[in-house]
């Protein structure tokens, strides 16, 4: 007997010594790298989740953001003695074994501390050595970390099914809310889901899973009453409300629809405004990026594009319709918030380039308002050696086709592609306009007045105005005659932003897409909204708007009259019909739409001729139709807000040689009387945007060359050199 007792004492002592040695020598390992990974969450402007990206669906949060009732749901279900035990619970382990042997509800034999250690520092293997190590580390963790730190680590590391790691991801996947908005009943379900995530994730659709989840949910609420964290009356109210069935779930499909473009815009903006946000840090996750994107307006823009494409394009029967691309953007003129973009058919269709944010698509005659704004502000050198003369929308310039253009020194602009060596500026049609007002030239998109005006104002002044309106310097074309009628290639976003400056009476609010960024719960600096700045005097911006109202009322943009609101805008069509634009605005919203053709396998612009069965495609056609449909939806319910009355600019000078009475005077009176009644979105009277022959930036046009022509207006010579 003494020998047995001695043997027992020896074994006990040896075991105690071994455990003591193991406890003394064991170290807390570094967390598993995977447990440090999180995803990034992107939010719509209304605070709902737009998208998540990253390899792991987890967003770590401080435990203070978890409602107290939800914290107690987990403690009641997993470890009621959490706040009093040392991190391990031998009795709990034995109790769990007995319950499972009797066929009762599954219970964890581990404390919350042990589960935190297993999830964060160890693996999920079921070996004696791993369990022993778990107990030792849990004891050390229990002595070295606060209970709140342990609970926080546990809630952030649990797997809940539905690819959700951590309680924040679980709250969104199961109930579509942030964790702060969970109630005790929903928390009870999530506490239940930790035990059998692969089954409970289907509680929305699988009757067996729902029945088992409901039983476990009810048990968790009963435990809450037992430990004094719910009153019987509260428990009864949750019972009356019924089981909190999770929302429907299917395995995710990446970034559908416009989501990919929105996420990329937000990522790029965040990285541009905080150098600590790198591709590497984004891959590790933990960012919450709040955007300006409006869910309803983004959907409305996508619907408008889809509707017009379905009605106008037939890729199954017309090969030319197969590579047609649309880009669009909508901006709030007061704040610069990017409310919606249309970037293409979506990542799901292998279209990864954002058509709304791309450069390389010339803007054509939508650039003419920039030239007009520069002229109104900086004046124009109409005669060499004389001071710049004032310009107003009523100033007159020669609108005839084929005229020669002079620079500020009075020299003719050259063109080495022309047999004469001089540039003969072209319009799209051969109508003899004579000297017409800049207002009329804008309405009918006649090129020659704006090319000469641009030369008289000067490249530096026009480029400076473009940048003041928000166009990027690297998107502006080099000096040439074509620069003044649209060889530059700003994005659709930037064009919407530039026109929004006109809408806001000269106050520029730079387009932006991110309102706030947090990382691991901490708000990052540098994401305050850009403050609007004065880009143009109000009188100039309002006069440009007044001219652009005429484009819609009786010019090349009359399709936009269907909006039925006070609006202003400009059409634009480019070299060999390689792109077509419509940019327009109300006081509340500025939107740009661009149409172009590009084969993804051969990324270069192709002609739009034949698209939609049309011989020629103009900005006043398909782009204006998309713009009108979208704006009708986006502005529904808002008042028709008038633009400010333009302040008088005084008397403007005319181009030298302008007759006292011109043919355009009669045309202006006639058109004002008719108010564009005969105009249906194409220019029946001529005009256009031709910049010249090869070697110049191209044949920029807003108007159809196949329109009926009055023989009396044709030049005497119909040889191609005369056209």
Q: Where are the beta strands (DSSP E) in 349-394?
A: none
Q: Round to whole Å and give the CA distance between 281 and 275.
A: 11
Q: Three-class SS of residue 486?
A: coil
Residue with tokens 């840090």: 281
DSSP-derived pairing of the beta strands 287-291 and 40-43? parallel
Structure tokens at 538: 């109000």
Backbone angles phi, psi at 496, to 5 degrees: -60, -40
pLDDT in tens, 280-326: 888 888 899 999 999 999 999 999 999 999 999 999 999 999 999 99
Residue 530 DSSP one-character state: P
CB 623 within 8 A of CB 581: yes
Q: How far apart are CA 341 and CA 115, in angstroms?
A: 45
Whose CA is closest to 655, among 416, 422, 397, 470? 397
Can you tell me the distance from the alpha carbon of 385 to that of 136, in angstroms, rounded to the nearest whole number? 92
Give the integer Cα–Cα distance in Å for 462 and 411.
20
Q: Taking a C-beta distance cutoff of 8 angstroms, is the pair 583, 499 a contact?
A: yes
CA distance 484 to 623: 22
Candidates 337, 310, 363, 467; CA nearest to 697 is: 363
* pTM of the model as a whole: 0.77
Handedness of CA 195, 199, 204, 206 (dihedral sign): negative
Instruction: Please report the domains of the chain, with CATH numbers, ordered by start residue.
Output: 2-30+61-241 (1.10.3810.10), 364-493+504-585+597-604+628-638+656-722 (3.40.710.10)
- Inter-residue contact 72 to 182 (CB < 8 Å): no
What gap in Å lies between CA 54 and CA 39, rounded to an integer?
A: 4
pLDDT attached to residue 574: 86
Task: List all residues 6 or more positions away from 181 whose beta carbon is below 8 Å from its beta carbon.
Answer: 171
Cα 274 to the chain's mean position, in Å?
18
Q: Which residues of 702-712 are buried (b: 16+ CB within 10 A; e: fewer)?
A: bbbbebeeeee
The pLDDT assigned to 687 comes to 40
Which pair of tokens denotes residue 679?
């105009």
Please report, for the chain, how many H helices and E strands are present, in that order.
Answer: 23, 17
Q: Where are the beta strands (DSSP E) in 147-297?
A: 287-291
Q: How far are the Cα atoms of 351, 369, 410, 429, 723 from residue 703, in angstroms, in the given order? A: 31, 17, 30, 8, 16
* pLDDT tens sequence across 453-486: 999 999 999 999 999 999 999 999 999 999 999 9
d(CA 152, CA 137): 17
Low-confidence ranges of the chain (pLDDT < 70): 1-36, 87, 89-109, 121-140, 142-144, 250-254, 600-601, 661-723
Q: In what order do the strands lie in the sheet with 522-523?
A: 49-53, 40-43, 287-291, 514-519, 522-523
CB 109 within 8 A of CB 92: yes
Give the model's pLDDT for residue 90: 64
Predicted pLDDT at 672: 46
CA distances from 402 to 87, 432, 456, 486, 688 (A): 89, 10, 18, 18, 12
């Amino acid at each position: 007997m003494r020998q047995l007792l001695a043997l027992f004492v020896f074994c006990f002592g040896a075991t105690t010594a071994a455990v003591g040695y193991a406890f003394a020598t064991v170290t807390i390992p570094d967390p598993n790298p995977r447990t440090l990974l999180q995803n990034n969450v992107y939010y719509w402007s209304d605070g709902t989740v737009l998208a998540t990206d990253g390899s792991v669906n987890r967003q770590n949060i401080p435990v203070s953001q978890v409602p107290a009732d939800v914290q107690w749901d987990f403690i009641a279900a997993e470890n009621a003695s959490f706040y009093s035990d040392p991190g391990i619970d031998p009795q709990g382990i034995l109790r769990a074994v007995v319950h499972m042997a009797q066929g009762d509800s599954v219970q964890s034999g581990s404390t919350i501390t042990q589960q935190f250690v297993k999830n964060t520092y160890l693996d999920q293997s079921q070996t004696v050595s791993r369990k022993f190590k778990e107990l030792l580390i849990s004891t050390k963790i229990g002595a070295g970390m606060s209970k709140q730190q342990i609970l926080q680590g546990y809630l952030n590391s649990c797997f809940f099914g539905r690819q959700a790691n951590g309680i924040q991801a679980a709250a969104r996947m199961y109930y579509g809310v942030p964790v702060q908005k969970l109630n005790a009943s929903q928390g009870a379900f999530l506490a239940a889901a930790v035990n059998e995530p692969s089954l409970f994730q289907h509680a929305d659709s699988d009757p067996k899973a729902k029945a088992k989840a409901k039983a476990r949910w009810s048990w968790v609420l009963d435990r809450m009453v037992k430990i004094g964290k719910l009153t019987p009356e509260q428990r009864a109210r949750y019972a009356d409300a019924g089981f909190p069935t999770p929302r429907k779930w299917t395995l995710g499909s990446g970034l559908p629809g416009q989501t990919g473009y929105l996420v990329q815009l937000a990522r790029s903006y965040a990285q541009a405004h905080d150098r600590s946000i790198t591709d590497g840090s984004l891959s590790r996750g933990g960012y919450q990026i709040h955007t300006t994107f409006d869910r309803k307006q983004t959907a409305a823009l996508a619907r408008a594009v889809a509707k017009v494409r379905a009605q106008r394009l037939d890729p199954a029967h017309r090969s030319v319709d197969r590579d047609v691309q649309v880009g669009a953007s909508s901006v709030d003129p007061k704040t610069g918030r990017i409310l919606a973009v249309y970037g293409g058919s979506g990542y799901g269709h292998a279209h990864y380039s954002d058509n709304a944010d791309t450069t390389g698509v010339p803007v054509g005659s939508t650039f003419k308002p920039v030239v007009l704004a520069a002229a109104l502000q900086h004046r124009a050198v109409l005669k060499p050696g004389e001071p710049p003369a004032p310009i107003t929308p009523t100033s007159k310039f020669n609108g005839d086709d084929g005229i020669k253009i002079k620079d500020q020194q009075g020299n003719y602009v050259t063109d080495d592609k022309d047999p004469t060596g001089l540039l003969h500026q072209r319009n799209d049609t051969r109508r003899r306009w004579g000297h017409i007002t800049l207002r009329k030239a804008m309405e009918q998109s006649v090129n020659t007045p704006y090319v000469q005006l641009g030369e008289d104002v000067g490249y530096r002044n026009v480029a400076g105005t473009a940048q003041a309106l928000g166009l990027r310097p690297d998107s502006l074309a080099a000096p040439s005659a074509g620069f003044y009628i649209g060889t530059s290639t700003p994005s659709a976003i930037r064009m919407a932003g530039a026109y929004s400056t006109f809408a806001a009476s000269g106050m520029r609010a730079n387009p932006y897409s991110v309102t706030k960024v947090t990382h691991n719960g901490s708000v990052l600096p540098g994401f305050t909204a850009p403050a609007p700045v004065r880009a143009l005097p109000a009188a100039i911006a309002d006069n440009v708007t007044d001219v652009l109202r005429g484009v819609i009322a009786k010019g090349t943009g009359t399709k936009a009259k269907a909006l039925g609101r006070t609006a202003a805008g400009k059409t634009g069509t480019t070299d060999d019909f390689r792109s077509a634009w419509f940019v327009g605005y109300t006081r509340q919203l500025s939107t740009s739409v661009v149409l172009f053709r590009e084969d993804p396998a051969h990324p270069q612009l192709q002609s739009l001729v034949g698209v939609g069965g049309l011989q020629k495609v103009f900005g006043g056609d398909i782009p204006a139709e998309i713009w009108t449909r979208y704006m009708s939806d986006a502005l529904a319910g808002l008042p028709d807000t008038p633009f400010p009355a333009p302040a008088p600019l005084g008397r403007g000078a005319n181009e030298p040689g302008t007759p006292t009475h011109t043919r355009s005077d009669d045309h202006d009176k006639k058109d004002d009387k008719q108010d564009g009644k005969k105009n249906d979105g194409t220019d029946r009277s001529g005009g256009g945007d031709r910049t010249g022959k090869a070697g110049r930036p191209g044949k920029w046009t807003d108007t159809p060359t196949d329109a009926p022509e009055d023989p009396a207006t044709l030049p005497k010579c119909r040889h191609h050199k005369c056209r």
